[in-house]
Chains A and B, each alone.
Chain A
Amino acid sequence: MAAVTRRLLLGSVGLAVLGGAAYGASRVVCRFVPRNHPDFFSLLELAPDGEASRRVGEALLSQSDMSLDLPRLASSLAGRPFTRAAMGETCPTSRAALVKDQCALDFAEGRIVMVDGWLLSETEAALCAGRLLCGATA
Chain B
Amino acid sequence: MISDLRTGGAPAEIEGEVCVVGTGPAGMTIALELARKGRRVVLLEGGGDAYEDDTQDLYRGEVVGHRNIDVANSRLRQFGGTSGHWTGLCAPLDALDFEPREGLGGFGWPIRRADLDPFYARAQGYLDLGPYRYDWEDWRRIVPLPALPLDPSRVITDVFQQSPPTRFAEKYHGAVEAEPRIDCWLHANLTDVRLAEGSNAVSSLSVSTLEGHVATVRAKTFVLACGGIENARILLNARAQRPAGIGNEHGLVGRYYTDHMTIEATTVLLADSVDARLYSESQIYDGAELQFGLRLTPELTKRERLTTNSAFLVPQHANEIYSTDYRNHGWIAFSSMVKAFSRGHMPDRLAEHYCDAVDDLGSVATGVFRQVARRVAPPEAAHVFKLRQDAEQAPNPDSRVYLIDAKDRFGQNRIALDWRVSADDLLRLRRTHELIGQAIGAAGLGRVQLGIAETPDLDMAFSGYHHMGTTRMHSDPRRGVVDANCRVHSVENLYIGGSSVFTTGGCANPTLTIVALAIRLAERLAATA
A-to-B contact residues, CB < 8 Å: 100-101, 103-108, 110, 112, 114, 116-121
Contact = CB atoms under 8 A, between A and B. Distances in A.
Nearest to A107: B441
A119 B444 contact: no
A112 B449 contact: no
Interface string B190-233: 00000000000000000000000000000000000000000000
B17 interface: no
Contact of B444 (A100, A110, A112, A114): A100
A104 B453 CA distance: 24
B447 A118 contact: yes
A6 to B, nearest CB: 69
Contact of B449 (A101, A107, A108, A116): A116
B450 A114 contact: yes
A101 B441 CA distance: 10
Contacts of B444: 100-101, 103-104
Contacts of B151: 108
A9 B437 CA distance: 70
19 contacts: A101-B444, A103-B441, A104-B443, A104-B444, A106-B441, A107-B438, A107-B439, A107-B442, A110-B438, A112-B438, A117-B449, A118-B447, A118-B449, A119-B434, A119-B438, A119-B441, A119-B447, A119-B448, A121-B441
Interface string B159-180: 0000000000000000000000
- Chain B contact residues (Cβ within 8 angstroms of A): what range? 10 to 19
B451 interface: yes
A104 B447 contact: no
Nearest to A105: B442
B437 to A, nearest CB: 4
A41 B428 CA distance: 40
A104 B442 contact: yes
Contact of A104 (B434, B437, B441, B451): B441
Nearest to B434: A119
B493 to A, nearest CB: 55
B438 A120 contact: no
Interface in B472-511: none
Q: Which of A104, A107, A118, A121 has the most CB of B within 10 A?
A: A107
Contacts of B439: 107
Interface of B: 151, 434, 437-444, 447-451, 453
A119 B435 CA distance: 10
A65 to B, nearest CB: 19
A121 B446 CA distance: 11
Contacts of B437: 119
B281 to A, nearest CB: 26
A108 B435 CA distance: 10
A117 B451 contact: yes
A48 B444 CA distance: 18
A105 B442 CA distance: 6
A42 to B, nearest CB: 21
A105 B441 CA distance: 9
A118 B438 CA distance: 11
A116 B450 CA distance: 8
Given A119-B434, A119-B437, A108 B442 contact: yes
Nearest to A114: B450
Contacts of A101: 444
A110 B440 CA distance: 12
Contacts of A118: 447-450
| Pairs of residues from A and B, 8 with the lowest C-beta to C-beta distance, nearest first | A107-B441, A107-B442, A108-B442, A119-B437, A117-B450, A104-B444, A117-B449, A118-B449
A108 to B, nearest CB: 4
Given A107-B439, A119-B447, A119-B449, 16 more contacts: A101-B444, A103-B444, A104-B443, A105-B442, A108-B151, A108-B442, A112-B441, A117-B451, A117-B453, A118-B447, A118-B450, A119-B434, A119-B448, A119-B450, A120-B441, A120-B447
A114 B449 CA distance: 9
Contacts of A110: 438
Nearest to B154: A108
Contacts of A106: 441
Contacts of B442: 104-105, 107-108
Contacts of A100: 444
A104 B448 CA distance: 13
A102 to B, nearest CB: 11
B178 to A, nearest CB: 58
B276 to A, nearest CB: 18
Contacts of B443: 104
B145 to A, nearest CB: 23
A116 B449 CA distance: 8
Contacts of A121: 441
A30 B437 CA distance: 46
Nearest to A106: B441
Q: Which of B151, B442, B443, B448 has the most CB of A within 10 A?
A: B442
Nearest to A121: B441
A25 B517 CA distance: 87
Nearest to B443: A104
Q: Which of A101, A108, A121 has the most CB of B within 10 A?
A: A108
A25 B444 CA distance: 47
